[in-house]
Structure 1
Amino acid sequence: MAIRIIVHEPDPVLHEVAKEVTKFNANLHKLLDDMADTMYHAEGVGLAAPQIGILKRVIVVDVGDENGLIEMVNPEMVEKEGEQLGPEGCLSIPGLNGDVRRYKKIHVKGFDRHGKPVKVTATDFLARAFQHEIDHLNGVLFTSIAESVYEIPRQEKE
């Protein structure tokens, strides 16, 4: 396991559509492990493979709830309902947040690291995190869909 370098805007890889994963093997397992390590090291709640320069449809999410770490390969939203408006940030766009309108509840299907089908029902913050990461797989950044974007105030050092 290793911590990878997170790609920052305006790197063109962040605007490309990731390719579907067809091989569920040791390389994929290492990618998932590295993505989780990288996300935790950066104190994020989600990470998509394009954010570390790899154009594959792979995400990891951990919003700190009872679900813990969720790994998903080739994720796809199959149902969506409701609406929420809230703040988002991104490890690839440090220093900025934005208010983004998202679905309140979603059903996501995909595969685990072994190619076994999985389905997750997510609401509220977990739903927001999934939608944000799936957007990355489609080359969409939160800044392009936010209703407002603003700088995060720097915390003063003591």
Structure 2
Amino acid sequence: MPIRPILSFPDPRLRLTAAPVLRFDADLRALADDLLETMRAAPGIGITAPHVGVLSRLVVLELAPGEVRIYVNPELDQVSRETIRHTEGSVSMPGVTDELERHARIRVRYQDLDGKERNEEADGLLSVCHQHEIDQLDGIFWIDRLSRLKRDRLIVRYNKLRRA
């Protein structure tokens, strides 16, 4: 289970759409294991295959130690009208965060590592994480959800951190 290099913003591959996973095999399980170790080393609570340059629809979350969740081909199935604000960041842009508005509750449709179809309802942080990571699978980097002014300021802060 090697720790893989994480793409850093503004790598253009972070804006590409990931392809659906079609093969549920040992290679997929190995990638999920690598993502978990890479995310923990970052550190982070969520990571997608595109974060390590693999354009596959695979997400690994660990919101609490030992509570690993793996989602293959996740899609938002339902979203609430109610929204919440939450501070977000990315393993591809460490050191900077900002507050975003997301749906308060969602239902996600996905497959597990065996290819079995599943559904999950989520609220709070889990809901935010699903939306954040599914955006990444769709080539939408989290800062794209900020106003232009906030995004520009955040990029300046990030670039200063990288030079330090």
Asked whether the two chains share a fold, i.e. TM above 0.5, the reply is yes
- The equivalent of 1:40 in structure 2 is 40
- The equivalent of 1:119 in structure 2 is 119
Alignment of 1:19-34 (within 5 A): 19-34=19-34
Q: CA deviation at 1:40?
A: 1.1
Kept in 2: contact 1:102–1:128 (CA 8 A): yes
- The equivalent of 2:90 in structure 1 is 90
Paired residues, number: 152
SS in 2 for 1:102: strand
Alignment of 1:47-86 (within 5 A): 47-64=47-64, 68-81=67-80, 82-86=82-86
Query: Which consecutive unaligned segments of at least 5 residues does structure 2 have?
Result: none
CA distance in 1, matches of 2:54, 2:132: 17
- The equivalent of 1:102 in structure 2 is 102
Q: CA deviation at 1:59?
A: 0.4
Q: CA deviation at 1:103?
A: 0.6
Instruction: Tell me the C-alpha RMSD between the 2 structures.
Output: 1.7
CA distance in 2, matches of 1:141, 1:95: 16
Tell me the alpha carbon deviations over residues 39-91 of structure 1, each in whole angstroms, 9 at most, x when there is no partner.
111120100110000000000111117x9111000000101112011210111
Query: Which consecutive unaligned segments of at least 5 residues does structure 1 have?
Result: none
SS in 2 for 1:136: helix
Q: Which runs of 4+ in 1 moved over 3 A?
A: 147-152
Letter in 1 for 2:49: A
Normalising by the residue count of structure 1, what TM-score does the alignment of the two structures yield?
A: 0.90
CA distance in 2, matches of 1:118, 1:41: 28
Percent identical: 34
Q: CA deviation at 1:95?
A: 2.3
SS in 1 for 2:97: strand
